[in-house]
Chains A and B, each alone.
Chain A
Amino acid sequence: MSTDTVTNAESTPDVEQPWAELGLKPDEYQRIRDILDRRPTSCELAMYSVMWSEHCSYKSSKVHLKRFGEIPQETPAGKMLAGIGENAGVIDIGEGYAVTFKVESHNHPSYVEPYQGAATGVGGIVRDIIAMGARPVAVMDPLRFGPLDAPDTKRVLPGIVSGIGGYGNSLGLPNIGGEVVFDPTYIGNPLVNALCVGVMRHEDLHLANATGVGNQMILYGAKTGGDGIGGVSILASETFAEGGPTKRPAVQVGDPFMEKLLIECTLELFAAKVVEGIQDLGGGGLSCATSELASAGDGGMRVSLDKVPLRDASLSPEEILMSESQERMMACVTPANVEEFLKICAKWDVQADVIGEVTDTGRLEIDWHGERVVDVLPETVAHEGPVYNRPFARPAWQDELQADGAEKLPRATTSAELRDTLLQLVGSPNLCDKSWITDQYDRYVLGNSVLAQPEDSGMIRVDETSGLGVAVSTDCNGRFAKLDPYTGAKLALAESFRNVATTGARPVAVSDCLNFGSPEDPDVMWQFTEAIRGLVDGCKELGIPVTGGNVSFYNQTGEVAILPTPVIGVLGVIDDVTRRTPIGFTGEMEGHQLYLLGETAEELSGSEWAHVVHGHLGGRPPAVDLAAEQQLADILINASRDGLIDAAHDVSDGGVAQTLVESALRGGVGARVWAPDNLDPFLFLFAESAGRAVVAVPRTEEVRFTDMCTARRFPHTKIGVITGDTLDVQDQFEIPLTELREVWTATLPAALA
């Protein structure tokens, strides 16, 4: 096949082109022709199809995501050094340090090929972090699966977990948190979100642009192969259909060893100050890197595509442009620094090749063996893709769903029934012990993991001398979001915020991964817009900005969309990590007083109890009061700093019962508790009202602690004492910790063995 050059395209305007197979719509193809004033070459068509895909262009979400700009860009810790639009947001955390973090989805590839899909999800987010100039210091993975007993879950879950472990462990990054949630809507659409945190000194911040005419463009890392072709356009931007062709070749294949070399090599390149601008090659591969770097810089770039080192010599130029082969980066380097750059790469055995240079033409020009195959304005590829105002409307079924509250369902009333309910919940898939999964992740490597799962948030020491650290949590209750996406998004934000504060860190910034069904469905689009509205309002109220994130649409098989799942990651800062608050009740805490902070209402809709006991989803989610969350956070942070509490655990899925069980099993010591006078024991144990936490207060600090709560007029109720080796709910039932542990730990091994 001869090369389709620009000249050829000009002289053969009527050639049939495979735009539909590449995922473009008729009007989008016409728009490309209008922009170029001719038909695109096959290489140009490849680039536009990739970059105008939903995954890369955010064409359905862009108009709504703009609203994040309304949130003040200051964080409680300091200013934002880089925000949305960069590879990842960067926050000043003091002492000259900056932190960058971001959460992204790798949902579709992980369904098609669980191990590689999940592995390369970790790889992609880690490269986003190194591209900012930061050293990655931790990862976390919020996961969603179909029912635990579904046959496909047994295929997907072990593969995804070993992919995350296999890649992250080999990279030497501790995995310190995340979530594992099961729900029938995720069958056929598992969610694999990956978060990475990186740390740098302020002066090390690097941005993605190619400036300086004559500067050289260097591609380094792995060679380019035929994997991941069309990953973003064919795989991540469509729903799965029965009987379609296999999409496995569109999944990338990861090499964590190469990525580890790439991390060390890149950080050494930064330290040697031989990099002007840099970007990782992720979704969209070279099409994305060349067009984005060029349009963010001086605008012109010339690339010789035949200089790209290949794993497979038979690849066509179109395939090279679309390949999403992993572990590649592109840097802009001054001619004087090229030699030093190549020398550092050689030290790390990393291949590096000059493949182009920055020009003053304002155009992105790509040649293949001396013939021009691409000649475009880079911004038309990178930023001027179609923007859709997709129709959205409140679903016809929403009212009926909200009218069907769980509060009317039959509840356990006798002591024996309450005891059985608790055990049924403790052993249920969403609440049971997750160590079958998390024991496959290295949580210790790098030696700075102060807290890791199952703690409320993961915490990393940043400075060994001062004790400065960061904490991160990710949360989302998709059932709440289904019942009311506006409130559900706020609740996800509130829970993540609270989880960071319970460990003693001050929440400062948000990254989100918005997982939804098809944007072409007005019901789904309404859920999406409502979730954004909730998140924007919530962030404004809490005074923390959204620093970046990712949208994943088309998580839908046929007519069935997933629960709307806006996963919210919150990052917090703690001045001294030795003051962190863990969740466990330990032997040293024998006799400590247990307080329930916050108010408990009759809120059962969307709860784990309704889900597990009744298989019910309906009603309205718990009310969310962000001013109260803010107050609760202040109390938790101050109490931690002043030594007034020794343990704290947030109350969320499963209610106070689950909170107590997790704290007791974590530390190995039980508790004697009682329902407060005005509260029905069932609601005390299982209601899921927001804005609550259980704290363990030493007797010597009890007065100071309660005085602090009283002064802030924050509801605090003594509910018990840490003691013994049982969970004793007075006047109701008593369960030995050994029995709780047996029930709690049995579920996953039994299902996945």
Chain B
Amino acid sequence: MKVGVVTFPGSLDDVDARRAAAVAGAEAVALWHGDADLHGVDAVVLPGGFSYGDYLRAGAISRFAPVMETIIKKAGEGLPVLGICNGFQVLCESHLLPGALIKNHHRKFICKDQGLRIENNRTAWTSDYDANHEITIVLKNQDGSFVADEATLDRLEGEGRVVARYLGNPNGSYRDIAGITNERGNVVGLMPHPEHAVETLTGPTTDGLGFFTSVLKAVVAS
């Protein structure tokens, strides 16, 4: 069972995502943005960071990396993909997920321990959580405010595709949305960082581990 973690120029939490996958019991594989080969991985994490400095728009350049062409194609075939923070931004820019992430409404970078409610535990990445499970993981970003037009938001809610909502909105995200999924439930974008909540020694909780244990089960089940 292999979980690939892509490193783009400017990725920062790639090492952490690999550690979290390993803590969950997977073999973590480093993938390179310029290499279109996924090296046989069973699931992919697009990690946090500031790829290409976020100088154009967060995720806007990484979306064109050779590795993304393969990921976009395989995601359509059901490959589990989790985009965390900058990875979520890449998924939106790639149109694997709807909506966009814009600057926090308070205009500042924010790093805090954030409460979330898991609202959809049927995705490849959240099956280990109970429905409406409340967890605390790390939030840290500059461009974390999720926005979409009303029709899209209605559709996401109507189809149960809101994966997680903030308990106390930290950044102006519409309808408190912290994470969403695609129709099939294999692609998940999440603004907070589950990979920073897998060890009590270095994280606020171990509540984030469920994302990584969930995907192991999803892969085995398929």
A contact residues vs B (CB 8 Å cutoff): 162, 165-166, 169-172, 255-258, 260-261, 348-349, 439-450, 461, 464, 577-578
Residues on B with C-beta less than 8 A from A443 are 111
Are A447 and B109 CB-contacts (below 8 A) given A257-B10, A578-B201? no
Complex: A448 Cα to B110 Cα, angstroms: 19
The listed residue with most A CB atoms (<10 A of its CB), out of B19, B50, B195, B202, is B202
* B17 → chain A closest CB, angstroms: 9
Top-7 shortest CB links A-B? A257-B53, A172-B12, A447-B16, A170-B50, A444-B196, A165-B109, A440-B109
Smallest CB gap from A261: residue in B: B9
* B116 → chain A closest CB, angstroms: 16
* A243 → chain B closest CB, angstroms: 34
Complex: A700 Cα to B63 Cα, angstroms: 58
Indicate which residue in B49, B193, B203 contacts A172 across the interface (CB closer than 8 Å).
B49
B16 touches A446 (CB 8 A): yes
B50 touches A256 (CB 8 A): yes
Q: Is B112 an interface residue (CB 8 A)?
A: yes
Are A439 and B9 CB-contacts (below 8 A) given A444-B140, A578-B201? no
Query: 0/1 per residue, B1-43, Cβ < 8 Å to A?
Result: 0000000011011011001000000000000000000000000
Complex: A447 Cα to B117 Cα, angstroms: 23
A169 touches B10 (CB 8 A): no
B201 touches A450 (CB 8 A): yes
Smallest CB gap from A161: residue in B: B108
A444 touches B203 (CB 8 A): yes
Residues on B with C-beta less than 8 A from A169 are 50, 109, 111, 140, 142
Indicate which residue in B13, B52, B110 contacts A257 across the interface (CB closer than 8 Å).
B52
Q: Kindly list 15 other residue pairs between chains A and B, CB separation below 8 angstroms, not including A170-B53, A439-B111, A450-B202.
A: A169-B109, A169-B142, A170-B10, A172-B12, A172-B49, A257-B53, A261-B10, A348-B9, A442-B109, A442-B140, A444-B202, A445-B16, A447-B203, A450-B201, A577-B201
Are A439 and B201 CB-contacts (below 8 A) given A256-B50, A257-B50? no
The listed residue with most B CB atoms (<10 A of its CB), out of A261, A439, A445, A577, is A445
A257 touches B55 (CB 8 A): yes
Interface residues of B in 96-120 (CB under 8 A from A): 108-112
B49 touches A444 (CB 8 A): no
A445 touches B9 (CB 8 A): no
Residues on A with C-beta less than 8 A from B48 are 445
B201 touches A442 (CB 8 A): no
Complex: A166 Cα to B50 Cα, angstroms: 10
Q: Is B44 an interface residue (CB 8 A)?
A: no
Q: Is B91 an interface residue (CB 8 A)?
A: no
Indicate which residue in B12, B53, B195, B202 contacts A448 across the interface (CB closer than 8 Å).
B202
**A/B interface sample: 22 pairs, CB < 8 A:** A162-B108, A162-B109, A169-B50, A169-B140, A170-B12, A170-B53, A170-B54, A256-B53, A260-B9, A260-B12, A439-B110, A440-B110, A441-B109, A442-B109, A444-B111, A444-B202, A444-B203, A445-B16, A445-B140, A447-B16, A447-B202, A450-B202
Are A442 and B10 CB-contacts (below 8 A) given A257-B50, A447-B16, A447-B196? no
Residues on B with C-beta less than 8 A from A450 are 201-202
Complex: A461 Cα to B203 Cα, angstroms: 13
Q: Is B138 an interface residue (CB 8 A)?
A: yes
Number of interface residues of B (CB under 8 A): 29
Complex: A440 Cα to B110 Cα, angstroms: 5
* A158 → chain B closest CB, angstroms: 9
B15 touches A444 (CB 8 A): no
* A404 → chain B closest CB, angstroms: 42
Complex: A348 Cα to B7 Cα, angstroms: 11
Complex: A443 Cα to B108 Cα, angstroms: 15
Complex: A669 Cα to B149 Cα, angstroms: 44
B112 touches A439 (CB 8 A): yes
* A219 → chain B closest CB, angstroms: 20
Complex: A172 Cα to B199 Cα, angstroms: 19
Residues on B with C-beta less than 8 A from A257 are 9-10, 50, 52-53, 55
* A70 → chain B closest CB, angstroms: 40
B53 touches A255 (CB 8 A): yes
* B20 → chain A closest CB, angstroms: 8
* A75 → chain B closest CB, angstroms: 26
A461 touches B202 (CB 8 A): yes
* A480 → chain B closest CB, angstroms: 32
Residues on A with C-beta less than 8 A from B54 are 170
* B67 → chain A closest CB, angstroms: 15
Complex: A647 Cα to B110 Cα, angstroms: 28
* A238 → chain B closest CB, angstroms: 33
Complex: A464 Cα to B23 Cα, angstroms: 12
Complex: A260 Cα to B9 Cα, angstroms: 8
Complex: A171 Cα to B11 Cα, angstroms: 9
Residues on A with C-beta less than 8 A from B50 are 169-170, 256-257, 260
Residues on A with C-beta less than 8 A from B110 are 439-440
Complex: A441 Cα to B48 Cα, angstroms: 15
Are A260 and B111 CB-contacts (below 8 A) given A444-B140, A447-B16? no
Are A166 and B109 CB-contacts (below 8 A) given A447-B196, A461-B201? yes
* A299 → chain B closest CB, angstroms: 38
Query: 0/1 per residue, B134-175, Cβ < 8 Å to A?
Result: 000010101000000000000000000000000000000000
* A168 → chain B closest CB, angstroms: 10
Residues on A with C-beta less than 8 A from B19 are 447, 464
* B132 → chain A closest CB, angstroms: 25
Residues on A with C-beta less than 8 A from B112 are 439
Residues on B with C-beta less than 8 A from A172 are 12-13, 49
Complex: A444 Cα to B13 Cα, angstroms: 9
Complex: A439 Cα to B138 Cα, angstroms: 12
* A420 → chain B closest CB, angstroms: 32
Are A446 and B15 CB-contacts (below 8 A) given A261-B9, A461-B202? yes
Smallest CB gap from A165: residue in B: B109
The listed residue with most B CB atoms (<10 A of its CB), out of A170, A256, A258, A349, is A170
Residues on B with C-beta less than 8 A from A348 are 9
Complex: A257 Cα to B9 Cα, angstroms: 8
* B86 → chain A closest CB, angstroms: 11
Complex: A489 Cα to B19 Cα, angstroms: 42
* B106 → chain A closest CB, angstroms: 10
Interface residues of B in 198-220 (CB under 8 A from A): 199, 201-203
B12 touches A445 (CB 8 A): yes
Residues on B with C-beta less than 8 A from A445 are 12-13, 16, 48, 140, 196
The listed residue with most B CB atoms (<10 A of its CB), out of A255, A257, A441, is A257
The listed residue with most A CB atoms (<10 A of its CB), out of B13, B109, B111, B196, is B111
Residues on A with C-beta less than 8 A from B196 are 444-445, 447
Residues on A with C-beta less than 8 A from B202 are 444, 447-450, 461
Residues on A with C-beta less than 8 A from B108 are 162, 440
* B176 → chain A closest CB, angstroms: 19
Interface residues of B in 80-103 (CB under 8 A from A): none
Complex: A445 Cα to B142 Cα, angstroms: 14
* A257 → chain B closest CB, angstroms: 3
Complex: A692 Cα to B138 Cα, angstroms: 34
Complex: A255 Cα to B15 Cα, angstroms: 22
